[in-house]
Every structure is written in structure tokens, then in C-alpha cells.
Amino acid sequence: MTVIKMVAIELDDVALTIQADDDRPPAIDPAVALVRKSGIVVGRDALMRSRLEPRRLHDRFWQDLSNDALPRPHPAGLTTADLAHAHIENAWRKAALPASEVLLVVPGDLSSSKLGLALGVARAADIPVCGLVDLGLAASVDRGIIGQALHLEIYRHRAVATILEKHDQKLCRRNVLWEGSVGMTDLFARWARWISEQFVSCTRFDPLDRADSEQELWNNLNGWLSEIRRNGGARLSFPAGKLVHEIDISEQVLAETVRQSYDVLQSLVESASLDLSTVQLVLGPRAAGLPGLLPRLIRPGMKAPIALPVAAGAAAALRYAGSIVSNGEELPLVIELDTGGSWRSPVARPPVQPAASSVGGLPSHVVHRGLAHKIGPHGLVIGREPSAEQPHLVLTGDAAGVSRSHCSLRLDGAALLVEDHSRYGTFLNERMLDGPAELAAGDHLRLGSPGIILHLIEVVSKDGPP
């Protein structure tokens, strides 16, 4: 059996693209969920029924990643983080890659709080993440860029332009621009409606008349668009009962149906304020695959645009693992790569040791937002929601990465122990807990990623400990 040492995962709101460090093709799992009473269906199984069960469909959970409960009719307490966890856990299980180290390759517009929560979700799915890198940077690093470059990719609900600059042998991310009015979902919906109208006009058959034929139309759409893009047009066939309906579609006409959206993408590229006659335009696989988009972006004298293959960012991340892997639990997002070398051995990381407390007495209080909360004989439950059964500390403010009942403090003889109950981790002095750990005054806890910091203190009166 082939030994897989490292895996890279491109994580975005269209799909998870999982690439191993061998010659096998990437595994791609669509970022779609169906929320049913019987449970959550994710990935390709959900996508293939998304038009049959539109009211149960959720496809924004990676973009809207949060611990806030979704509104009705979703089940009480269900969050987008729960859906993201179900998705990445399912995709990782199906990929069946027993890697010891995993790199996450993420779009540059992901906020620090969402990035931290995504990291926590991945780790909660037992994925051994050891490094984070910007997707636009990784995908462009081996493309012979001189001077400036602009990486453009279209995601499910937005478009992202990453501005890159080569200086000496280092390729650096300089800025990230995004546009929320254009995305793959909107483009596909417009094309689905227009193609359906052409079937009605030419054959009197309406694919959108029934849910099952609408689902079939959406299942065929990606393949049709690829053929149209590749050949400048295509004859589309749609079996219906004993009949097969056919229409001819040209790339030019298809592109005209989304002209306003392409205008927005063109404006996004131009808003980067780069000299488009000298800048290198790099198109992600989805942007490169949009029929008729490339001619709209080319300018006289511009360098030939580079169209990237699927999983380009993940594959490059594996080649540059030595510059991406980080020691410890804190993983900075890499936005600069040295192009002087490629296949580098990953940095050896020390094994995680059991959490060690600072030297100090038994903590009597935990400090949150400047207020000291007493730890009584019955301990303390800490999280985003109050406990009906035990004394509790409800955390306020930005609680990204913090669970409803995140961890608990309890007295055990002469010791105070902390125990993690969360999906996203509790860190004692920046080391993730893997079981109960003893606390001492002077320790600090970080709940989640990026998380909330709590300090353990011992309040001593003039006559001695309280």
C-alpha cells in the first residue's frame, strides 16, 4: 500500500479538493448540504438532489462560517460550522488518505475569525492540519511570474482577485479584492433558465417543468458548459421518455446571456489598478472554464493569460510544504513563498506534549474581559450558552470558534482540572488539550480558534488564601 505522508486540501465554498503527495487524481467533494429531519446529507449525494429538495438545500456554510444558530426551519441549534464539519469529515473519510500532515489552501478573502473557525472544524474532524497558505499565491507560485500578477477565481457566491508581486525570488500576496454580486451559483442559474427557454422555443419541451428533469438539467450543465467552452459551441441533447430533444448553443451567444456579470468581473480586474499590459493574468480553473469570459479580460499587449488546472493550489502547496508547515498549534496564514526551490522536505514538528501548567497556586477565579469570576466548589461550565445544571460563565463578544458548552473546570481533591467538550479545541498555555489537565494560577486558556483568552488567577486576602 502506498504511504501518504502529506495531503493538501483546497477549501472553498464550491468544493473541497483533496490532493495527496502521489500521482493519484484529486478527490473533489461539492460544498452542498441537505438538512433533513433524519440527518444531514453532504457532498455529491446532496448536489445530485439539490433541485429535488430546494428547501433543504444549504450551500453557503463555508462562506458564512459561524457558530450562530441558523434560522428556522433548520433544526434548533444547528450552525454553519456544524454543516462545514459534516462536509469536511465526510470528504476526508471518503478520500481515505491516512496522512500524518495536512495543509489547508484557502481563498485570500477569508477573515481571520472564519479562518480560525475553519481550522477548528478541520481539527475536530481529526484532520492533522499543520499549515495554512493562500490559494491564489500557491496556485501561481510555479507559473514563471515576473513582476506583478493577478489571480482570478470564481467561487459559489463571489469572485476573488488576488494581487501578487515577485520580488527577488519571493512571490508575495499584496492585496485581495472580492465581488459578492457574481458567483458560480448565479451564473449557472441564469444559464439553466436560458437553456431551458431554448429547449421550449425549439422543441416545446421545458426541462424546468418537473423537478426530476430540472435536476437532470443541472446535473448536465457543467459538462455542457465545458464542451461549449472547448469547441466554441455544442449540440445539447436531453432525453425525455421516448424522445431526445436537441438544441445548438454557441459560446458567443451563451456568454451574452451573462454579459452584465462579465462586466462586473472585468471591473473587478480593472479595479486592481495594475498595468494590464504588463501584468500576468492567472485564471483559476472555474474562471478559466467560463464560456466567453477570457476574451473580455484580454487587453492589447497583455501577456498570454495562464489557465490553471484543477487542484493547482493544492499541488503547489505540497511542493512548497517546507515553507508552509508551522511548528506548534498556532498556524499563521502563509502569504509569501520563496520560488528558489520547489520540492522541499516538510519541517519536522515536535510531538505535542501534555499540557503543562505554569508554576502557581490553586486558581480561585477565571478572568474574562477584565472581570474575575469565582470558581466555586461545584466548578464552572464555560461556553456561549448558560448551563441549567451547573454554575456557568457565558462568554460575550466575538466568540468565533467557541462552542455552546466549550469546557468545564472542576475540583478534584486539591487540584483544579479543565476538561474540553468542544469541537474546536481548548488550549492550555497554547497547547491543545487531549484530556483533563491540571490548572495553576498564572495559566491561560484559549477556547477555540482564534478563540477567547481566559486567565486563571488566585485571589489572596491579607490573611491568606480565600
Does residue 359 lie within any of the structural domains? no
Do 174 and 279 fall into the same domain? yes
347 has a pLDDT exceeding 70: no
Give yes or no for a contact between 418 and 383, defined as CB atoms under 8 angstroms apart: no
> What residues make up the domain containing 129?
1-142+308-351
Q: Give the contacts of 283 (CB within 8 A, at least 6 positions apart).
A: 151, 152, 153, 294, 305, 306, 307, 308
CATH of the domain at 243: 3.30.420.40
Asked whether residue 321 carries a pLDDT value surpassing 80, the answer given is yes
Euclidean distance between CA atoms 352 and 428, whole angstroms: 12
C-alpha cell at 92: 476526508
What does the pLDDT look like over 130-187, one tens digit per residue?
A: 999 999 999 999 998 989 999 999 999 999 999 999 988 899 999 999 999 999 999 9
Query: Do 253 and 294 fall into the same domain?
Result: yes
Instruction: Please check whether residue 358 lies inside any domain of the structure.
Output: no
Check whether residue 412 and residue 441 sit in a common domain. yes
Whose CA is closest to 160, among 184, 176, 144? 176
% helix / strand / coil in the chain, to the nearest 5? 25, 30, 45
The cell numbers describing 189, all together, are 442559474
User: Is pLDDT at 330 greater than 80 in this prediction?
Assistant: no
Position 357 in a domain = no
Residue 277 domain-assigned (yes or no): yes
Percent of the chain residues past pLDDT 70, beyond the cut? 91
Are both 161 and 278 inside the same structural domain? yes
Over residues 233-240, the mean pLDDT reads: 93
Other CB atoms within a 10 A radius of the CB of residue 377 amount to 7
Q: Where are the alpha helices (DSSP H) in 146-284?
A: 184-203, 211-231, 251-256, 259-270
Q: Is 462 among the domain residues? A: no
Query: Which pLDDT belongs to residue 209?
Result: 94
Asked if residues 428 and 418 have their Cβ atoms less than 8 Å apart, the reply is: yes
The x, y and z cell numbers of residue 312, run together, are 493547482
- Per-residue pLDDT reduced to its tens digit, 374-423: 899 889 999 888 777 788 898 876 666 788 889 999 998 889 999 988 87
| Same domain flag for 325 and 295 | no
Checking if the pLDDT of 353 tops 60, the result is no
| 463 assigned to some structural domain | no
Grid cell for residue 448:
477555540
Q: Which residue reads 515536535 in cell numbers?
A: 350
Strand ranges for 12-58 from DSSP E? 15-20, 27-30, 33-36, 39-42, 57-58
Same domain, 73 and 114: yes
> Coil, strand or helix: which one is 361?
coil
Asked if pLDDT for residue 358 goes beyond 60, the answer is: no
Where among 282, 304, 326 does a domain terminate? 304
What is the distance between the alpha carbons of residues 106 and 124, in angstroms, rounded to a whole number? 18
Nearest CA to 92 out of 129, 64, 56 is that of 129
CA 139, 143, 149 angle in degrees (round to 5)? 80
Q: DSSP 3-state assignment of 376?
A: strand
Tens digit of each residue's pLDDT (9 = 90 or more) over 175-214: 999 999 999 999 999 999 999 999 999 999 999 999 999 9
Band (343; pLDDT cuts 50, 70, 90): very low
465 in a structural domain: no
* 258: in domain: yes
Mark whether 62 and 183 lie in a shared domain. no
Q: Are residues 201 and 243 in the same domain?
A: yes
Q: Are residues 129 and 10 in the same domain?
A: yes
- Whether 280 contacts 308, CB under 8 Å: no
Task: Say whether pLDDT at 291 is over 70.
Answer: yes
Q: What is the CATH number of the domain that holds 395?
A: 2.60.200.20
**Residue length, the chain?**
466
Q: What is the pLDDT of residue 329?
A: 64
Q: Which amino acid, 106?
A: V
Supply the pLDDT for residue 400. 66
Q: Which long-range contacts (CB under 8 A, 24 or more apart) does 370-378 make?
A: 372/457, 372/459, 375/409, 375/411, 375/416, 377/411
pLDDT in tens, 108-119: 999 988 999 999
99-103, 217-221, 279-283: least confidently modelled range:
99-103
Burial annotation 26-58 (CB, 10 A radius, 16+ → b, else e): bbbbbbbbbbeeeebbbbbebbebbbeeeebbb
DSSP letter, residue 461: B
Residue 355 confidence class, pLDDT cut points 50, 70, 90: very low
The total number of structural domains that make up the chain: 3
Among residues 449, 405, 446, which one has the least CA distance to residue 77?
A: 405
Predicted pLDDT of residue 350: 37
Q: Which grid coordinates belong to 407?
A: 469546557
Residues 192 and 300 in one domain: yes
Residues 44 and 97 in one domain: yes
Same domain for 249 and 345: no
Name the β-bridge partners of 261. Answer: none
